[in-house]
Each structure stands twice: as structure tokens, then as C-alpha cells.
Structure 1
Amino acid sequence: MTGNGTQEQAADRAAAGTGTLLLGAAPIGRPDDASPRLRAALAETPIIAAEDTRRLRRLTSDLGVEPVARVVSYYDQNEKARAEELLGELLAGRDVLVITDAGMPGVSDPGYRLVVAAVAAGVPVSVLPGPSAVTTALIVSGLPTDRFTFEGFPPRKQGERARRLAELAAEPRTMVFFEAPHRLAATLGAMAEAFGADRPAAVCRELTKTYEEVRRGPLGELAAWAEEGVRGEITVVVGGAPAPEGLSDPADLAAAVAAREAAGTPRKQAITEIAKENGLPKRVVYDAVVAARA
């Protein structure tokens, strides 16, 4: 279908009374960070899909809002089925507000499936912008903000986590991660191993809350600190890889490829990456690997 066809379809459905999908950014700490638009949507939207209905009740109580909505649960385990149900409500002309425990729906929280379905069906989608742990942590970290990448939660299993971090070892942009407090020490230790113990980072805990804490330092030091135990909502910001100085000696090239292989990268891919990073033809790196194994 052409772009014009999709726009015409959306216009037809809007004219027929299609509802609007609203994605509301919830406070990540202090209730008074809620925007006026979110307050109004909580009070007026006929259907609210909440990640945790108890936390929603607490938020509306703190804000002095009395919802008129039918409130339904919308979390990871029921997201697929609930998205189909909510799309039906939207197509029937009823607005739906999606709100998660904190921050923006769809960012490591439920919401993405419903947005995709709504867009495909020509249902209007609108965002009520507001607090975000990702950008809040990035700004307060003291690390470069001109280019960054959000990596969500690292894998829980040790092997999968090591492979994922190895893939990011040469990432030049600042990286933002979420992590559970009981896994923080292990993750920081794995990051120190993959990125280097001296890589600068910041652990942001309980952002905007009473006991907000931002701990900055090299990954090795942060990993040792976290071994003592950490509580609260955690966002980790890690500096990007420094620009490579460039390898040319065959032994150094072979060693770089071997290090990538040890981290789980296939040899062919490792050769391609090392060649690209050092501005060399793949054949040069390949020959260096062969020579080292001779």
C-alpha cells in the first residue's frame, strides 16, 4: 500500500470516530513531576492500561486525580493478548491511555506491541512527554551526551551477557543500561571485563527520589562498590570506546582478532571488524591471523 493510501485510510477511520492511543510518561520518582497533560488524561480518558494497577492508584491519589476510566492491567506477560483487546477499543472509538510504573511506555516497558498495531490499523497515536530515566541519567552522568545508545537490560545469563557486552566493546557512543539492583555487581564486573576496568561510568540510583545517588568512576571501582549491595531503581551510563589508535603490526592484528574470538565473536566477523576499525583491507588482517597460527 502506498503512503497516500495509508494516510487516507487513517483519515477515514478518524472520521468514523476512531479513538486515540495515548502514551503517558509517568514520574520516575516524585509525583509532582507529572505533566499537566498526564493529569488531565488520567482524569478524563475512558480506558487506562496500567503496568501495575496498584501503583496507578497510588499515583492518582498523590496527584489528587479521580479517574473515570475502566482500568485494565497491561504488563509483559499479557501484553500480546491485551494489545488486541485494546486495539478493538480504539477502533470502536474509545481513547486508551497506556501508563507504566515509571517513565515512557514502550521503552523497556509494555507499549510497543500496541503502538505497532495501532499504526498498522491507522489509529492516531499521541505521546504525553515527560520524565525519562534514560535521558535523566545520561545528563547527570557527566559523560558525553552528543551521541548515545540505549541498550536496555543486559541479558541475565552470564554467557549471554558476556557476548552482548563484547559486541559493544568498540561502541564509540555513550551507552545507557537498565539493571536490577541484585544483578548490578555482576553486570558491572562483566562490563569491566568487556570494556576495561578504567572505562568511565556512572551508576544512577533512585533518580529524582529522596535518596537519589549518582556514583561516578571507573567500571572496576564501581563493580567493587556494588559488591556491598545496592537498592533501588538503577540506570547505568558507560562512556563509549576511545577512538582506536590503529593497529598495523601483524602480531597485534592477530591478537586483536583472537581477543574478539575469545569473547564469542566468529573469526570471520572479528577479522571484518578489526579491519574496519583500523582502516585496513580484510586480506591484511586475515593474513596476519594465518601467519600467527602457522
Structure 2
Amino acid sequence: MISTYANALRAAHDAASEQHYPAGTLYVVATPIGNLADITLRALHVLGLVDAVACEDTRHTQALLRAYGIDKPSNQLLALHQHNEAQAAQGVIDLLRQGKRIAYVSDAGTPGVSDPGARLVAAVQAQGLRAMPLPGASSVITAVSAAGLVDEGGDSGGFMFVGFLPSKATERSFAVQALASQERAVVLLEAPHRIEALAAALGALGTRRVTVGRELTKQFEEIATVAAQDLTAWLAADANRVRGEFALVLHPARAQAQMGQGVRVLKLLLEQLPVKVAVKLAADITGEPRNALYEQALVLKAAASEGD
């Protein structure tokens, strides 16, 4: 593997070595989300140049560096993850004050985007020290680029990044309800052990399209766009589809079919009518899927019971 990237290291030196890399700086370095070839030349150069690399998992990062032919002794790898971020950040700041160059990498992708790193950058900047970003791979941007997002007029309407929804079922359902009327695209992330629960919750969005990116950039990458109400069935069609990491893009809600209208009607009807009757009438009034409205009705009733 080292010989495979020998040319890349030489190219990185040729392309990036003449640039300025100030001392006492934190270099926030994006690493591949799967395919090792998705590393920038500047990232390779800086990872070899810095005095230490702060990272989520020192063993993972050591293996990554060695794959590129970069050998760092273990004392130049600093563990900095979500459980020790505040304490470890102070250690990084002390090194920066000594004029050291420090890189920070997450296990995959761009630090600070649903990964540790944001608190470290904030702490460094609060001390008047510099944080220099080295852009690269991001599952968020990768998923958006393959989703084909256009509004009804054929133009891109932008997107919002949400990341991981709550793990508890009721909270997750309320989060999906809040996203139902969002007119922009929404990017979500999910782990394999929770993807089926997320798919069930997203089913409440009915015919709203969802682009699913599974194992992005890896050997078994899979990208598909389905209706939210069909996502559970899509996962069930192949046992391999519940494996790997996920980035999902909810396409913009169509103006004439926003779930928010159905929920508002449903709330009013549930105050006076049984669930089945309220769901039927809400579906007849709004034209929204009865199954999705029924799921929303159960969430609303459960919330009402908790409030009693």
C-alpha cells in the first residue's frame, strides 16, 4: 500500500511544499469517507509536515497514515474525541503556543460536521490562535451532489444540514414532523443499527422523495431515490442495504403536498373524533397518504397522553 501512494506523496510535495504553513497553527484536515484515493495533495503534505496529529481514534489514524506512507511515532498521535474534547483541546492549545503545527482529523470526512472538532476549533480561536481548514471529502456534500436537487422551477433551492435525528422514537417522530413542511432539501446521517427505525419514521412523509446514499465512495456504494413511504420496503428488499453508514437527502417538499397541512388538519379532527375517523377525513381533505397520517395520529395521541 505504501508503494501505491509513493507517487502521490511526491506529487503532494511538488504541489504543496512551496506554500506557507505557519507555525503555531491548527490544521483542520478532511480525510476520505471511504475511498483512500479521495485525499488531497495538500492534506498529504500537511499530515507529513505537522509535529502532531490530534484524532478521534489513534489506531485508526495510524493505519490511515501508514496507508499513505506517512509514519508518525505513537507519541505524535493525540487522542481527541467527543468524550475528552475539552480537556484534550487544552493540550493542543499548549502545543500551539509552543509554535507547534498540529493537524486534527476525524475518523472520516470533514472534522466538526457531525464529528468532533468544532469545540477544538472554537477553543483554539478563543485563545487568539489560528485554525486553517484543509477541505476535502464530506458525506454531506457527496450525498447532495448525487441527489439531483431541483425545485419545481428547475433550479436548486439549497439545502439544510440536520445530521442525526434523536434516537428515541417519539422524539424522532416529532423531528420528522418538524421537517415535513421544510421547503428546502434536508440532509440526514444515520448509522446501520438505526436506519430501519429512521426509515419507519420518514414513512410519515408519504410521497416526498428521499435519496439514500449507503457506503458512499466505498466498494459497495449504493445510491437510490425512493418515496419516503417506500424506504422501509427498499431496505427490506436486500439484506445488505441495512449495512454501512448512511447519508440521506430529503428532497424539497412540494408546495401542494406539504405534510404540515395534513398534521394541522389532523390535530383539529383528533380533538373531536376517534383516530380512524380523523385520519380518513384528514386524508380526504388534504389528499395526503392515509398510512402516513395514521402514523402521525399515533404520535400525536402518544404526546397528548404524556402531557396528561
Q: Distance in 2 between matches of 1:77 and 1:125?
A: 21
Asked if structure 2 preserves the Cα contact closer than 8 Å seen for 1:50 and 1:71, the reply is: yes
Offset at 1:188? 1.3
Asked if structure 1 preserves the Cα contact closer than 8 Å seen for 2:203 and 2:231, the reply is: no
Residue in 2 that maps onto 1:130: 136
CA RMSD for the aligned pairs? 2.5
Q: Distance in 1 between matches of 2:141 and 2:270?
A: 31
Asked if structure 2 preserves the Cα contact closer than 8 Å seen for 1:26 and 1:131, the reply is: yes
In structure 1, give the amino acid aligned to 2:181. Answer: A
Q: Distance in 1 between matches of 2:68 and 2:141?
A: 24
Q: Does 1:255 align with 2:261?
A: no
Residue in 1 that maps onto 2:207: 198
Distance 1:232 1:257, change over 3 A: same
Residue in 1 that maps onto 2:71: 66
Matches within 5 A, 1:197-216: 197-216=206-225
| 1:87-133 deviation digits (Å, cap 9, x = unpaired) | 22222221211101111000011101111111111111111111111
Q: Distance in 1 between matches of 2:56 and 2:116?
A: 7
Q: Distance in 2 between matches of 1:108 and 1:173?
A: 20
Would you identify which runs of 4 or more consecutive aligned residues in structure 1 move more than 3 Å?
251-254, 256-261
Residue in 2 that maps onto 1:233: 245
Q: Distance in 2 between matches of 1:253 and 1:107?
A: 31
Distance 1:71 1:166, change over 3 A: same
Offset at 1:256? 6.0
TM-score, length basis structure 2:
0.72
Offset at 1:142? 2.4
- The runs of 5 or more residues in structure 1 that have no matched partner are 1-16, 262-294
In structure 1, give the amino acid aligned to 2:34. Answer: G
Distance 1:92 1:188, change over 3 A: same
Matches within 5 A, 1:139-178: 139-144=145-150, 145-178=156-189
Offset at 1:146? 3.8
Residue in 2 that maps onto 1:99: 105
Residue in 2 that maps onto 1:8: none
Which of residues 99, 112, 117 in structure 1 aligns to 2:123?
Answer: 117
TM-score, length basis structure 1:
0.75
Q: How many residues align?
A: 239
Q: Distance in 2 between matches of 1:168 and 1:48?
A: 38
Give the secondary-structure state (helix, strand or coil) at the position aligned to 1:141. coil
Q: Distance in 2 between matches of 1:245 and 1:53?
A: 48
Distance 1:19 1:259, change over 3 A: farther
Give the secondary-structure state (helix, strand or coil) at the position aligned to 2:253. coil
Q: Distance in 2 between matches of 1:118 and 1:52?
A: 21
